[in-house]
A and B are shown apart, each in its own frame.
Chain A
Amino acid sequence: MVLGAMALLLIGLSLYTSLLDPLRAKLGVLTQSAYWVTDIPTRFGDWMTDRLTSKQALLEENAALREELLIHKGRAQQMATIYAENMRLQQLMNASEKVNERVLIAEIFGVSPDPLAHRVIINRGSEHGVYVGQPLLDADGLMGQVVEVSPYSSQVLLITDSSHAIPVQVNRNGVRAVAEGIGNLYQLELRHVSNTVDIQEGDLLVSSGLGQRFPVGYPVAEVETVIHDPGQPFARVIARPMAQLNRSRHVLLVFNDPARADSPADLSE
Chain B
Amino acid sequence: MEFQQNPSFGLVVLSFAVAMLLSILPLPHGWAWFRPELVALLVIYWVMALPERLGVGMAFAVGLTQDIIENAIPGQHALALVAVAYFCLLSYQRIRNYALWQQSAWVFVLIGIHQLFWNWVRSLSGPAAQPLVFLVPALASAVLWPFLLIGMELIRSRVRRSPF
A-side residues, CB < 8 A to B, are 3-4, 6-11, 13-15, 20, 24, 27-28, 30-31, 34-35, 37-38, 42, 110-117, 148, 155, 162-163, 183, 185, 246
Contact = CB atoms under 8 A, between A and B. Distances in A.
B26 A111 contact: yes
Most buried by A among B33, B125, B127, B128: B127
Nearest to B23: A113
Interface residues on B, range: 35 or more
A113 B68 contact: no
B26 A3 contact: no
A30 B65 CA distance: 10
Interface in B99-135: 121-122, 124-129
A6 B35 contact: no
User: Chain B at the A interface: mostly helix, strand, loop or mixed?
Assistant: helix
Contacts, number: 96
Contacts of A28: 71
Given A24-B71, A111-B26, 5 more contacts: A11-B124, A31-B69, A38-B26, A42-B26, A246-B29
A27 B25 CA distance: 19
Given A34-B24, A112-B71, A7 B82 contact: yes
A239 B121 CA distance: 31
Query: Which 8 pairs from chain A and chain B are nearest by CB?
Result: A10-B75, A115-B32, A7-B79, A11-B75, A7-B75, A7-B78, A3-B60, A111-B26
Contacts of A7: 60, 63, 75, 78-79, 82
Contact of B124 (A15, A30, A111, A185): A15
Given A31-B68, A163-B126, A3 B57 contact: yes
B76 interface: yes
Contacts of B125: 15
Given A11-B73, A116-B122, A34 B21 contact: yes
A163 B122 CA distance: 12
B69 A30 contact: yes
B73 A34 contact: no
